[in-house]
Amino acid sequence: AAGVIQSPRHLIKEKRETATLKCYPIPRHDTVYWYQQGPGQDPQFLISFYEKMQSDKGSIPDRFSAQQFSDYHSELNMSSLELGDSALYFCASRWRGAGGTDNEQFFGPGTRLTVL
C-alpha cells in the first residue's frame, strides 16, 4: 500500500540558510500535518492543512511557513535556519472524508534536517 512520501530524507544546511521540505500524502488523503521531533523528544505539532487551507497551527516559528497545493502535497519552508532547528520533521496524512471515528494519521519516514 502507498505510504506518505517525504523528500529529501536528509538535508544539511548552514545557519541562516533556507530549506524546503516536501510531503506527498497517501493517495486520496486530503489533510496533512507537520510535526517536529528533536533528539530524544516526542513529536511536536507544527501546522496542518485541509483542502489547501490551514486548519490548525501549533508551535511553528514565524520563520517557517507552509502550504498545501492543489494535488494535496505540502511544503514546509524554513528560513533563517538556526542550530536549534536541527530535528526530524514528519509529515502525516489523513482522509478527513472518513468522518465518524476514523481519525488515524499516518506518518511519513521523515526528513532529518541538520543545521551546521
Partner 1 sequence: GQQLNQSPQSMFIQEGEDVSMNCTSSSIFNTWLWYKQDPGEGPVLLIALYKAGELTSNGRLTAQFGITRKDSFLNISASIPSDVGIYFCAGQKAAGNKLTFGGGTRVLVKP
Residues of this chain that bind partner 1 (CB under 8 A) = 4, 31, 33, 35, 41-45, 48, 50, 55-56, 58, 88, 90, 92, 94, 96, 99-101, 103-110, 112
Q: Of 7 and 50, which CB lies nearer to partner 1 in the complex structure?
A: 50
8 preceded by a cis bond (ω within 30 of 0): yes
> In terms of Cα–Cα distance, which of 61, 75, 65, 67 is closest to 23?
75
Q: Of 16 and 56, which CB lies nearer to partner 1 in the complex structure?
A: 56
Q: Of 11 and 88, which CB lies nearer to partner 1 in the complex structure?
A: 88
State in angstroms the smallest separation of the CB of 93 from partner 1: 11
> In terms of Cα–Cα distance, which of 16, 24, 67 is closest to 46?
67
State in angstroms the smallest separation of the CB of 21 from partner 1: 13
Q: Which residues pair with 78 in a beta bridge?
A: 19, 64
Quote the DSSP letter at residue 102.
Answer: -
Q: Of 44 and 79, which CB lies nearer to partner 1 in the complex structure?
A: 44
State in angstroms the smallest separation of the CB of 91 from partner 1: 9
What is the C-alpha to C-alpha distance for residues 110 and 37, in angstroms, rounded to an integer? 9
